[in-house]
A and B are shown apart, each in its own frame.
Chain A
């Protein structure tokens, strides 16, 4: 019998992606940026569609339906009603937006059909589930729960910015919704913008900056200002933004800068300028208010659904500090978070909604979940790697025995070497989970600085995440549940911490950073937290093998795991991307499949590999 396949697509806003669900199973998913090498690529995901179809040897003729992740007409309705409400303000935004709509987005079905025609002769029907239904579907359907509360929080979809639903069997029932412009995602983006980072990209930097904030009167004052002037927060987590301070509804920026400058008595930070204590305190205040709102929403979700399980998606679900707050409060017994929680994950959610809602197919929850470790992207064989290395005349060593390779890599890591680690299928979602990763020894106090400045070429304050063997996570961190997708933070155990004197406000950020805070200092953030990934035996055996080898050699079951890319670059996809990134940075070794490449053995005299100029993110 021919398989029933649903192709999910997200495109034309940011983070285009394609996902394929065949007979209810997630078989492939990838973001377009990985192929096009353009971060947050918003164009039609041609190469991602090609990948997901090739993965299953299907063509468009075999596809039952295509599901686009939102309803363009309702989005257009929101835009026109908003412009109507704020007129005559908003003219510049109106004039900027309308050409895009009149030229294409309003004719989305036609636009999609035209693009899809390249993949087959027969065009399947195109479905348009709502934006937040796509998020909710991406959260609930792959989760291991039979029933669950579903909380989706992001910038904005059509109208909805936050939804609470109940998932049961194969159905999703919407229970509560908060509409534009009162959006937690946009509030967090406004702080991102005000602190000098790029909207839709720098939010995780703001989250990483928050622990540098200092507790005390100033922080309390900032939080009070936010809650009294910017946000009218209610007990159930719903809130209203004071639109006198925000410009995103009528203009082309997030904040009304002059109003914010009056409120916080500080100018907006210019991109790449020095970070002051005031920015760190504001980042912490924004994080704590966000955490409080998410917590109240989770309590409301519990009240409305009565479920023991919570599933999360939407861009705000990537805020692992807020997620950890829900876990810590014990509102739900179990929490599952979609690893591709942002708009890229909408492609997967749309496809799953097509299967379970449009086709009304039953659902059988899988343990640990249906995401296959989020390893859903392309995979390259050893012969592909070998061909590349021969083409570049690159000396390498091939290992017939993967265990031996792991023992050797573990030894190199223990000697302080930085390793580019390229194995198996590429990750879906923003995190590298051990297949497209840069790895290092977390015990080395200098490693964070080295990785940030010499390998990743990014801001020195940015923290690094640990990957830890699942069964030993409790020896290093105060955590009582798996965190396979790096979406929870947990404190480093008290017994592993070093006492550090509290620096006075204004102490240089790098000086504070260099304090050795624990016996795994490279992954211990300023507040002793770590955004950890637990690695179990089923989802990624090769990465686990390496962690085990490192554990056997050193007694340490933790590695620094950061994404295989440099600042502004999408995570590497192909062996060629990995080799280029390796050659243009100061990584010591590159491990691809069963091959090890040593930097010092490379003849770089005649090489023209230069760091590709990626726009700063």
Chain B
């Protein structure tokens, strides 16, 4: 929660809302890699990206 609070504060203060889609994409991509590493899905993820 701290992180979400901080990142929202940063986007609002710096007025850089256009970074939000990039941040979400990067975080989702990071999470995807994290949760799929070592699973049967991993080869498909690597092929996709």
- Give which listed residue, A98, A101, A103, A109, contacts B6 with CB less than 8 A: A109
Q: Which residues of chain B are within 8 angstroms of A102 by Cβ–Cβ distance?
A: 26-27, 29-30
**Interface segment, one of A73-81, A177-185, A377-385, A435-443:** A73-81
Q: Which residues of chain A are within 8 angstroms of B6 by Cβ–Cβ distance?
A: 73, 109
- Give bound CA distance, A318 to B13, whole Å: 34
Cβ of B17 to closest chain A Cβ, rounded Å: 12
- Give which listed residue, B10, B27, B29, contacts A74 with CB less than 8 A: B10
> Within residues 98 to 112 of chain A, which ones have a CB less than 8 A from any CB in chain B?
98, 101-103, 106-107, 109-110
- Give bound CA distance, A109 to B10, whole Å: 13
Q: Which residues of chain B are within 8 angstroms of A107 by Cβ–Cβ distance?
A: 3
Cβ of A100 to closest chain B Cβ, rounded Å: 11
Cβ of A73 and Cβ of B10 under 8 Å apart? yes
Cβ of B33 to closest chain A Cβ, rounded Å: 9
Cβ of A93 to closest chain B Cβ, rounded Å: 15
Cβ of B26 and Cβ of A98 under 8 Å apart? yes
Interface membership of chain B positions 5-48, coded 1 if the CB is closer than 8 angstroms to chain A and 0 otherwise: 01100100010100100100011011000000000000000000
Interface membership of chain A positions 95-133, coded 1 if the CB is closer than 8 angstroms to chain B and 0 otherwise: 000100111001101100000000000000000000000
Q: Interface residue count for B (Cβ, 8 Å)?
A: 13
- Give bound CA distance, A109 to B26, whole Å: 19
Least CB separation from A103: chain B residue: B30
- Give bound CA distance, A447 to B29, whole Å: 59
Q: Which residues of chain A are within 8 angstroms of B19 by Cβ–Cβ distance?
A: 77, 80
- Give bound CA distance, A98 to B2, whole Å: 21
Cβ of B3 to closest chain A Cβ, rounded Å: 6
Cβ of B16 and Cβ of A109 under 8 Å apart? no
Q: Which residues of chain B are within 8 angstroms of A84 by Cβ–Cβ distance?
A: 22
Given contacts A77-B19, A98-B26, A102-B26, contact A110 B7 (CB under 8 A): no
Cβ of A110 and Cβ of B3 under 8 Å apart? yes
Q: Is the interface of A mostly helix, strand, loop or mixed?
A: helix
- Give bound CA distance, A56 to B16, whole Å: 42
- Give which listed residue, B2, B3, B14, B29, contacts A77 with CB less than 8 A: B14
Given contacts A102-B27, A102-B30, A109-B2, contact A80 B10 (CB under 8 A): no
- Give which listed residue, A74, A103, A109, contacts B3 with CB less than 8 A: A109
Cβ of A617 to closest chain B Cβ, rounded Å: 34
Q: Give how many A-B residue pairs fall within 8 Å (CB-CB).
A: 27
- Give bound CA distance, A134 to B11, whole Å: 22
Least CB separation from A99: chain B residue: B30
- Give bound CA distance, A98 to B30, whole Å: 9
- Give bound CA distance, A343 to B27, whole Å: 29
The interface centre, meaning the residue of B16, B27, B29 with most chain A CB atoms within 10 A of its CB, is B16
- Give bound CA distance, A74 to B14, whole Å: 8
The interface centre, meaning the residue of A73, A102, A103, A106 with most chain B CB atoms within 10 A of its CB, is A73
> Within residues 62 to 82 of chain A, which ones have a CB less than 8 A from any CB in chain B?
73-74, 77, 80
Cβ of B22 and Cβ of A110 under 8 Å apart? no
Q: Which residues of chain B are within 8 angstroms of A110 by Cβ–Cβ distance?
A: 2-3
Q: Which residues of chain B are within 8 angstroms of A74 by Cβ–Cβ distance?
A: 10, 14
Q: Which residues of chain B are within 8 angstroms of A101 by Cβ–Cβ distance?
A: 26
Cβ of B3 and Cβ of A80 under 8 Å apart? no
- Give bound CA distance, A106 to B26, whole Å: 11
Cβ of B36 to closest chain A Cβ, rounded Å: 14
Q: Which residues of chain A are within 8 angstroms of B3 by Cβ–Cβ distance?
A: 106-107, 109-110
Cβ of A343 to closest chain B Cβ, rounded Å: 22
Q: Which residues of chain A are within 8 angstroms of B10 by Cβ–Cβ distance?
A: 73-74, 77
Cβ of B19 to closest chain A Cβ, rounded Å: 6
Cβ of A80 and Cβ of B22 under 8 Å apart? yes
> Within residues 38 to 81 of chain A, which ones have a CB less than 8 A from any CB in chain B?
73-74, 77, 80
Least CB separation from B2: chain A residue: A109
Q: Which residues of chain A are within 8 angstroms of B16 by Cβ–Cβ distance?
A: 77
- Give bound CA distance, A77 to B7, whole Å: 11
Cβ of B28 to closest chain A Cβ, rounded Å: 10
- Give bound CA distance, A110 to B14, whole Å: 22
- Give bound CA distance, A77 to B14, whole Å: 9
Cβ of B22 to closest chain A Cβ, rounded Å: 6
Least CB separation from A128: chain B residue: B6
- Give bound CA distance, A109 to B30, whole Å: 19
- Give bound CA distance, A102 to B10, whole Å: 17
Cβ of B37 to closest chain A Cβ, rounded Å: 12
- Give bound CA distance, A101 to B26, whole Å: 10
Given contacts A80-B19, A109-B2, A110-B2, contact A73 B7 (CB under 8 A): yes
Cβ of B20 to closest chain A Cβ, rounded Å: 11
Interface residues, chain B, with chain A CB atoms under 8 Å away: 2-3, 6-7, 10, 14, 16, 19, 22, 26-27, 29-30
20 inter-chain pairs at a CB distance below 8 angstroms, sorted by A residue, are: A73-B6, A73-B7, A74-B14, A77-B10, A77-B14, A77-B19, A80-B22, A84-B22, A98-B26, A102-B26, A102-B27, A102-B29, A102-B30, A103-B30, A106-B3, A107-B3, A109-B3, A109-B6, A110-B2, A110-B3
Interface residues, chain A, with chain B CB atoms under 8 Å away: 73-74, 77, 80, 84, 98, 101-103, 106-107, 109-110
The 6 A-B pairs at the shortest CB distance, nearest first, are namely A102-B30, A73-B10, A107-B3, A109-B2, A77-B16, A80-B22
Not counting A77-B19, A102-B30, A103-B30, a sample of 6 additional A-B residue pairs whose C-beta atoms are within 8 angstroms of each other reads A77-B10, A77-B16, A80-B19, A102-B26, A109-B3, A110-B3
